Every structure is written in C-alpha cells, then in structure tokens.
Amino acid sequence: MSEKNGIVNLYEQNDRFYVAVDCIIFGFHQGTLKLLLIKRKFDPCKGEWSLMGGFLNKDESIDAAAERVLQDLTGLENVYMEQIGIFGELDRDPGERVLSAAYYALINIDDYDKELAASHNAVWVPITEIPDLIFDHNKMVRIAQKQLKRKAAVEPIGFNLLPELFTLPQLQSLYEAIFGDTLDKRNFRKKLLAMDVFEKTEEKDKSNSKRGAYYYRFDYDKYTELVQSGLRFAL
C-alpha cells in the first residue's frame, strides 16, 4: 500500500476496470427512426454489427468520453446526449471484463461528417430492423428507445432529430415514429400550437406536396417562458 500526502492509500487494495462508452445514435429520415450502427472492421467480433463505442481515458469524464466517441464517428459537437446507465455483467464482453456506460444521442441525420462515418463502416438502420448486435448492445438499444419514448413525451427533445426548420407534418411523423403509434393530425397540431413554443416562418417546404407546408422553428425563449409559467411541454 502506498502513501499519498502521508495518508495510507486505501484505494489501492481494490480492483480496477476497463470502462467503455457506447453510443446509441438516433436519426430520423422519411418517416422512420434510425440508428447509426457500425459493421466492425476490427476484433473482437470483426464483421458483426455493433454500436459505436470507445474506452474511457484517465483524463476525461464519462460524459466527455461519450461526446468524444460520438464526435469520432460523426464529427459533431454539442449534441443532445443522455446517459442510460452502466452495464456491468461479468461476461458481457467475452474478451475481457469491461464495463460500459451507454448514452443515446439525437442528431439531425442530414448534418454530420459522412466521410468520417463511412470510414468507420457506419450505416443507418431503421429502428424496426435492428440486426443482432454484439455483446449486450441490443439491450442498450431497447432501453434507449424506451427512454427516448418516455422523455420525448414530456420534454422538447425531438427537435434535435430535425433540421432547424421543419414542417408540422414532418414533426408529426417524427413523433409517430418515436411513439410507434399514429396520431390525429388536428389534435396534434392543436396541442402543439397551443403551447406556443414555435415560430412560424413564411417559407414553405414544397418537397412533399404541391401546396407546400410552412416551416416552423422551435423557439427556446418561448419554451423557457412556458416552463416559467408553470406549464410543461407535453404530448
């Protein structure tokens, strides 16, 4: 046992562990929720599907490691991320004892470094068609999806999956994908617009219809007002 500042170091008698982070990266495109998965080009489990992951370094917090791993794959910073927990079964990684902290991230699928992602063999896969993943990654995905579902219903996090400007039909189809359920168009619009957290623009998206749908923007200031007035975002 060593000493530090003259005090016997009680830590050293304990075991130390490898710690990884794994990212469940959500994107949304054409009505479907997708995950950015990688087809591993390295061992262990070369050739199999997995989440993007990486090891925790001495000099970084776990949150920072998750951000780094996400950035290594997508080039993105300042992304909405949420820890879902740490996974620590003895044999979860057959190679060695490794603990893994799982995070989910919500990104705008049109805006990331596609060459970088391609260099890691990353592919967008619809959430309904997730293949068998290595280790306990399927479990992580299940939990992340559940948590997203729960949280998206009470906090305005869905917007992270859309471009800054989005239409209401787009937004509705996003929430339908997240909840795995259809929503009534009129009730959906009524409820959302009643919260008054959107700014309507004059621009229209004509890519889906001849008439075109107005672009809206989520207004964080209005949202702050809503919360301060004692109300909540709710769907």
The contact set with its own copies (CB under 8 A) reads: 4, 7, 9-11, 14-19, 42-43, 55-63, 83-90, 95-99, 101
- Cα 207 from Cα 24, distance rounded (Å): 30
Q: Which does 119 bind (CB under 5 to 8 A by kind): DNA, its own copies, none?
A: none
88 touches, from DNA, its own copies, none (C-beta below 5 to 8 Å by class): its own copies
Shortest distance, position 65 Cβ to its own copies, whole Å:
8
Task: Answer with the entry of its own copies, DNA, none that 105 interacts with (C-beta below 5 to 8 A by kind).
Answer: none
| Comparison of 63 and 199: residue with beta carbon closer to its own copies | 63
The beta-carbon contacts of 169-174 under 8 Å, at least 24 apart in sequence, are 169/208, 169/213, 170/205, 170/213, 171/216, 173/31, 174/28, 174/33
167, 232, 155, 235: which is closest to 198 by C-alpha? 167
Span near DNA by CB under 7 A; candidates 55-63, 70-78, 140-148, 182-190: 182-190
Contact 55, 82 (CB under 8 A): no
Calpha distance 56→100 (Å, rounded): 9
Residues ≥6 apart with Cβ < 8 Å to 204: 211, 212, 213, 214, 215
Residue for token pair 């889906």: 208
Q: Which of 167, 192, 197, 218 binds DNA (CB under 7 A)?
A: 167
Phi, psi of 190 (to 5 degrees): -55, -50
Residue with smaller CB distance to DNA, 57 or 209: 209
**CB 83 → its own copies: shortest distance, Å?**
5
**Nearest residue (CB) to its own copies, 90 versus 194:** 90
Judged by beta carbon, residue 4 or residue 206, the one nearer DNA is 206
**Shortest spacing between CB 219 and its own copies, in angstroms:** 26
Q: Report the partner that residue 191 touches, choosing among its own copies, DNA, none (CB closer than 5 to 8 A by kind).
A: DNA
Among 184, 196, 199, 225, binds DNA (CB under 7 A): 184
Binding-site member from 189, 219, 222, 227 for DNA (CB under 7 A): 189
Residue 83's binding partner, choosing from its own copies, DNA, none, with beta-carbon cut-off 5 to 8 A by kind? Answer: its own copies
Binds 212, which of its own copies, DNA, none (CB < 5 to 8 A, cut-off by type)?
DNA
Prior bond to 44 cis, omega within 30?
A: yes
What is the CB neighbour count within 10 angstroms for residue 44? 13
User: What count of other Cβ atoms lies within 10 Å of the Cβ of residue 113?
Assistant: 13
